[in-house]
Chain A
Amino acid sequence: MYVSIFFCSRPLIFCPTLHRSRWRKCAARVFGSREKTRRRPNAAEERNVCHVAAPLTPLSNMAGKAGKPSRPRKADKDEEEQPLQAVLVADSFNRRFFPITKDQPRALLPLANVSMIDYTLEFLTSTGVQETFVFCCWMASKIKEHLQKSKWCRPTSPNVVHVITSDLYRSLGDVLRDVDAKTLVRSDFLLVYGDVVSNIDISQALQEHKQRRSMDKNVSVMTMIFKESPPGHKTRCEDDDIIIAMDGKSKRILHYQRAQALKRLHFPMNIFHSGSDEFEIRFDLLDCHISICSPQVAELFTDNFDYQTKNDFVRGLLVNEEILGNQIHMHVTKDGYGARVSNLLMYDTVSSDTIRRWVYPITPEANFADLEGQSCTHSRHNVYRETGVSLGHGSQMEENVLIGRNTMIGANCTISNTVIGANCVIGDNVTLDRAYIWNRVHIADDVKVKQSVICDNVEVKHGVVLNEQCVLAYNVVVGPDITLPEGTVLSMHHPDEEDDEDDDEFLSDDNDVGYRKDKTKLKVFNPAEVGSEGKGYRWKTSSLEDTEEDELAECIWGEIDFRFSQFLTQSYKISFRNLGKQLTSLLNQFLYHGGKFYKSLLKKWAPVFKNYVKRPQDQLDCLASMEEVFLERETHWAALVKVLMSMYQLEILEEEGIMHWFNQGSTTDKSQQLRRNQGLLKFIQWLQEAEESSEEDE
């Protein structure tokens, strides 16, 4: 057996030491003993039972749709003649661009003065896609409006764009299930996000994919596109680090693992028994988030209700490979550019790469979006100017600068690595470095901006200094004479509004008072944060770092979700005590990583909980297991009440159950103490009152 391990494209000598240590570890795994195999035959068999019935569903779906000219998918002999289709997901399903995305969906954020979705559509069109389905959820009307105005909806467009909107999409999984339900795709399609910027020529990958499909009927369901970029490459974002084990000959993916925050790597031994004698384990790949999918992908998402993200899908497919027989392949490109603007750091990188023409021929002066008046000239040191730009005396545009139309720049300014939108006014003696300034921004004299994003209609007054990684969201006013520390995020939306909105469906306002008294909303702008004439609220955490934390949390949640769903698919007949164990581990995890996301997670799994927690005894069990967890961690006692509250609101737990548990004689001192917790007492009191009032009503 011969295993080659790639961590970067050069010999290992050039690898940073960190990666070398990783290499040693995984090498040890690869060549190590067979006992480490993580196969669980039982689980596999049980899952098999679940899936036997599954393939029938799409067929029955098809039968139901008699209205359309029926074109049975199986008999698709004329696949080559089918126009290439694409599914574009114009929603990120996360909040990494908050608070900016509160006013504008991410796909419409300008990147080098052109909306991101236009880059994606241009990429699709240039690869020969003739029909694109754009799925939007958040602020769908805005995306729709934008697309209708753009060149993609002109009758002459080579790429027909259909916009499909729904408020119900919560994840990529939902979108693909809808694709399947509506039978939109007829043959292989491209799956991309609305924030992918790329110039990769995928025709070769497409051909390989088709060849594999025709050779081995319907075995390979997906080809993922990767770009070779060694660790430390600029477009590599730490959260997107992945480790892939692949078959060197057939390019089949054997193992797919997100490397982020992992100290150790495990490779299931069975992947190395798959018949081939050439394996590659690669850490030098960047996922371009472009995949060529067969219609089966949509079907598989329908069959597996628990698949939310592509990560779930890939992992799920690889784990179940032996049973379902589906394979995933990959295509690695060396030249070409492909990156997803997944957070603000990537926004910075991709913007500067676009200005530096790495995405050629998609460059600013090409005006590929064909917008009126957007044409610009390109001169030395990558300085781009649109029409009507005025530059004051002594101002310098050093390098990599893009200035939008009708923007006025005062005297003695120094501008480098910056994108400025249309109709901005910039005063004298302003220094801009790696600033991303959108449209209609007013910047007064003597302002310094470093690596920051300034959104539409912002006013920056005299003498303001923005340090690294600041974000000024729409319509904010800052200054005068204030220095914003690194990572400040200002928005016209109050940070607390977000929570409200999030819970709208489940909380009415008077329920709120119980535990959120402390959040009396400061509707007054704090002059210490935004300056004496400023307008805006400061958001708690710095956004760029926040994104990473977010990502971490998401990763862990993904992991838990995944394990959870696996666990559930194994058997429906587990007792609550087992589930309690799962719950325990779940709570452990979230407490450990700062429980910001417990709510969304609980919400997601509420139906499952409801299914198991039916009888009063179950409720008690559930509470007991929760108590167990919290007893181990005194510091997190305050969180208990929050969890209880959410579970109560989600109707998982009932008043009586909670009261019963609370009043239950507890044995240990510690649990007594827990019960005397201030927050908990309040909650119980509130519960009692609510009960009484409801009784009165009757």
Chain B
Amino acid sequence: MPGADKETDLSERIESFLSELKRCGSGAGSLRGSAETARETTALLRRITAQARWSNAGDLMEIIRKEGRRMTAAQPSVTTVGNMVRRVLKIIREEYARSRGSTEEADQQESLHKLLTSGGSSEDNFRQHFAHLKANVIEAINELLTELEGTTDNISMQALEHIHSNEVIMTIGRSRTVEAFLKDAARKRKFHVMVAECAPFCQGHEMATSLSKEDIETTVIPDAAIFAVMSRVNKVIIGTQTVLANGGLRAVNGTHTLALAAKHHSTPLIVCAPMFKLSPQVSDTPKLSTKNFENTTTNRFGNLILSKVNAHCPVFDYVPPELITLFISNIGGNAPSYIYRLMSELYHPEDHEL
């Protein structure tokens, strides 16, 4: 029976994606950028849409929500997966509304009045069957995929608007988006980049090597020197792991220090973040994520003391929105205060909790 075959094939793919997600966590498995994760998630969701059994939009949303919950649970620190699930849910809602003939705007945002009158009954309406829904949804997801593929290019295209000749730019750690952004600017302009090394994992070193290969004048500085060097810096350009709903960041540790130093010297802080990093999470306590990082100084003590020593190594910093000047996403530059608006465009409010 071909149907059953398809189902097992699908579940196999989902399983392997899940285990991949779990393993890649931070570094153990194949190290991938979040753009790739986003693309893979979307491709998988497209496959689910194409192959799973569903008769109406409500069913499909239920299936996607279920798988989405599993995927986000597999690697809670990777928010991209959840974001992509929300995007796809939003697409289904839109396509459904279009099939029904109602305008997008009507379904867009629940007004206060609408909330009072209709309650939460919108879910019932998804039960109607439309023959073209599947094709439409898949097409819309394909569009999303094309958008994802172009994100880095779209961001780096804006580089020349922000980086001018003979500027001193500071960045921290390694971000593929920032890397592409700087390289793009370097084709036309000459500037100097300071890279904070971002101890203890020192991704900054990789970043610096990669930049210097493109003939960008690059200096690696220790994290402790950030404040001292800041007075010379014209702009700080960083990447981030997640953009939170309030316009804050969850970024690699050390970023908060950098942002505070930039604030002190009134240096503009620009965050390069593609739209798929936008997460409806509001704020976030700094995640502790200790890597297998042997602290050599603790080894000197005897057994007894060592068992009482806890070596914590936080991986992410929370950066409050007040410290950020500008977000550059693939659809243009935005102020942190505008993030909430972008969010309501990207995700449906009912999908914030998967």
Nearest Cβ in chain B — how far from A286, in angstroms?
Answer: 12
A334, B293: Cα distance in complex, Å: 10
Of A126, A156, A352, the contact of B23 (CB 8 Å cutoff): A126
Which residues in window 347-373 of A have CB below 8 A to B?
349, 352, 356-361, 365-368, 370
Chain B window 253-291, contacts with chain A (Cβ cutoff 8 Å), 1 for yes, 0 for no? 000000000000000000000000000000001001111
- Interface pair B23/A375, CB less than 8 Å apart: no
What residues of chain B lie closer than 8 Å to A607, measured between beta carbons? none
Nearest Cβ in chain B — how far from A590, in angstroms?
Answer: 32
- Interface pair A361/B23, CB less than 8 Å apart: yes
A228-236, A489-497, A512-520, A580-588 - interface stretch: A228-236
Which residues in window 203-249 of A have CB below 8 A to B?
230, 232-234
Number of interface residues of B (CB under 8 A): 33
What residues of chain A lie closer than 8 Å to B302, measured between beta carbons? 232
**Is A154 part of the contact surface with B, judged by Cβ < 8 Å?**
yes
**Is A382 part of the contact surface with B, judged by Cβ < 8 Å?**
yes
Chain A window 153-185, contacts with chain B (Cβ cutoff 8 Å), 1 for yes, 0 for no? 011111000000000000000000000000000
What residues of chain B lie closer than 8 Å to A380, measured between beta carbons? 285, 288
**Is A336 part of the contact surface with B, judged by Cβ < 8 Å?**
yes
Nearest Cβ in chain B — how far from A468, in angstroms?
Answer: 13
**Is A335 part of the contact surface with B, judged by Cβ < 8 Å?**
yes
Of A154, A336, A337, the contact of B15 (CB 8 Å cutoff): A154
**Is B117 part of the contact surface with A, judged by Cβ < 8 Å?**
no
Q: In the complex where A156-B11, A233-B306, A366-B22 touch, is A359 in contact with B300 (Cβ < 8 A)?
A: no
Nearest Cβ in chain A — how far from B299, in angstroms?
Answer: 6
A contact patch SS: loop
What residues of chain B lie closer than 8 Å to A234, measured between beta carbons? 303, 306-307
What residues of chain A lie closer than 8 Å to B22, measured between beta carbons? 361, 366, 368
What residues of chain B lie closer than 8 Å to A675, measured between beta carbons? none
What residues of chain B lie closer than 8 Å to A233, measured between beta carbons? 299, 303, 306
What residues of chain B lie closer than 8 Å to A366, measured between beta carbons? 22, 25
Specify the chain B residue showing the minimal Cβ separation from A154.
B15
What residues of chain B lie closer than 8 Å to A361, measured between beta carbons? 22-23, 25-28
What residues of chain A lie closer than 8 Å to B29, measured between beta carbons? 126
Which residues in window 293-344 of B have CB below 8 A to A?
293-294, 296, 299-300, 302-303, 306-307, 310-311
What residues of chain B lie closer than 8 Å to A400, measured between beta carbons? 310
A352, B311: Cα distance in complex, Å: 13
Of B15, B25, B285, B299, the contact of A156 (CB 8 Å cutoff): B15
Nearest Cβ in chain B — how far from A311, in angstroms?
Answer: 25
**Is A315 part of the contact surface with B, judged by Cβ < 8 Å?**
no
A13, B27: Cα distance in complex, Å: 36
- Interface pair A337/B285, CB less than 8 Å apart: no
Of B12, B289, B294, the contact of A155 (CB 8 Å cutoff): B12
**Is B8 part of the contact surface with A, judged by Cβ < 8 Å?**
yes
**Is A378 part of the contact surface with B, judged by Cβ < 8 Å?**
yes
The interface size bin for chain A is 35 or more
- Interface pair B294/A199, CB less than 8 Å apart: no
A360, B288: Cα distance in complex, Å: 12
**Is B136 part of the contact surface with A, judged by Cβ < 8 Å?**
no
**Is B292 part of the contact surface with A, judged by Cβ < 8 Å?**
yes
Q: In the complex where A199-B292, A234-B303, A335-B293 touch, is A155 in contact with B23 (Cβ < 8 A)?
A: no
Of B73, B291, B306, the contact of A375 (CB 8 Å cutoff): B73
Specify the chain A residue showing the minimal Cβ separation from B303.
A232
- Interface pair B28/A126, CB less than 8 Å apart: yes
A334, B294: Cα distance in complex, Å: 8
What residues of chain B lie closer than 8 Å to A605, measured between beta carbons? none
**Is A550 part of the contact surface with B, judged by Cβ < 8 Å?**
no
Specify the chain A residue showing the minimal Cβ separation from B302.
A232
Of B16, B19, B76, B290, the contact of A356 (CB 8 Å cutoff): B290
Specify the chain A residue showing the minimal Cβ separation from B27.
A361
Nearest Cβ in chain A — how far from B109, in angstroms?
Answer: 32
Residue among B8, B27, B299, B303 with max Cβ neighbours from chain A (10 Å): B299
Residue among A14, A126, A349 with max Cβ neighbours from chain B (10 Å): A126
Nearest Cβ in chain B — how far from A285, in angstroms?
Answer: 14
**Is A303 part of the contact surface with B, judged by Cβ < 8 Å?**
no
A579, B22: Cα distance in complex, Å: 59
**Is A399 part of the contact surface with B, judged by Cβ < 8 Å?**
yes
Specify the chain B residue showing the minimal Cβ separation from A349.
B307
- Interface pair A360/B12, CB less than 8 Å apart: no
- Interface pair B28/A382, CB less than 8 Å apart: no
What residues of chain B lie closer than 8 Å to A335, measured between beta carbons? 292-294
- Interface pair A360/B294, CB less than 8 Å apart: no
What residues of chain A lie closer than 8 Å to B25, measured between beta carbons? 360-361, 366
A380, B11: Cα distance in complex, Å: 35
Specify the chain A residue showing the minimal Cβ separation from B286.
A380
Specify the chain A residue showing the minimal Cβ separation from B8.
A155
- Interface pair B310/A199, CB less than 8 Å apart: no
Specify the chain B residue showing the minimal Cβ separation from A228.
B294
Nearest Cβ in chain B — how far from A282, in angstroms?
Answer: 16
- Interface pair B306/A360, CB less than 8 Å apart: no
- Interface pair A382/B310, CB less than 8 Å apart: yes
Nearest Cβ in chain A — how far from B71, in angstroms?
Answer: 13
Residue among A14, A367, A370 with max Cβ neighbours from chain B (10 Å): A370
Specify the chain B residue showing the minimal Cβ separation from A366.
B22
What residues of chain B lie closer than 8 Å to A382, measured between beta carbons? 288, 310
Nearest Cβ in chain A — how far from B120, in angstroms?
Answer: 25
- Interface pair B292/A359, CB less than 8 Å apart: yes
Chain A window 1-24, contacts with chain B (Cβ cutoff 8 Å), 1 for yes, 0 for no? 000000001100010000000000
- Interface pair A360/B19, CB less than 8 Å apart: no
- Interface pair B292/A337, CB less than 8 Å apart: yes
Which 8 pairs of residues, A with B, have the shortest CB-CB distance? Answer: A156-B15, A357-B290, A361-B25, A156-B12, A361-B28, A234-B306, A360-B291, A232-B303
Some 22 contacts from A to B, beta carbons below 8 A apart, are: A9-B299, A10-B300, A14-B300, A126-B23, A126-B28, A154-B15, A158-B16, A232-B302, A232-B303, A233-B299, A334-B294, A349-B307, A356-B311, A357-B289, A359-B292, A360-B289, A361-B25, A361-B28, A366-B22, A370-B18, A378-B288, A380-B285
14 extra A-B contacts, CB within 8 A, seeds A126-B29, A155-B12, A380-B288: A10-B300, A125-B19, A126-B23, A156-B15, A157-B15, A199-B292, A201-B28, A230-B299, A233-B306, A234-B303, A334-B294, A361-B22, A361-B23, A382-B310
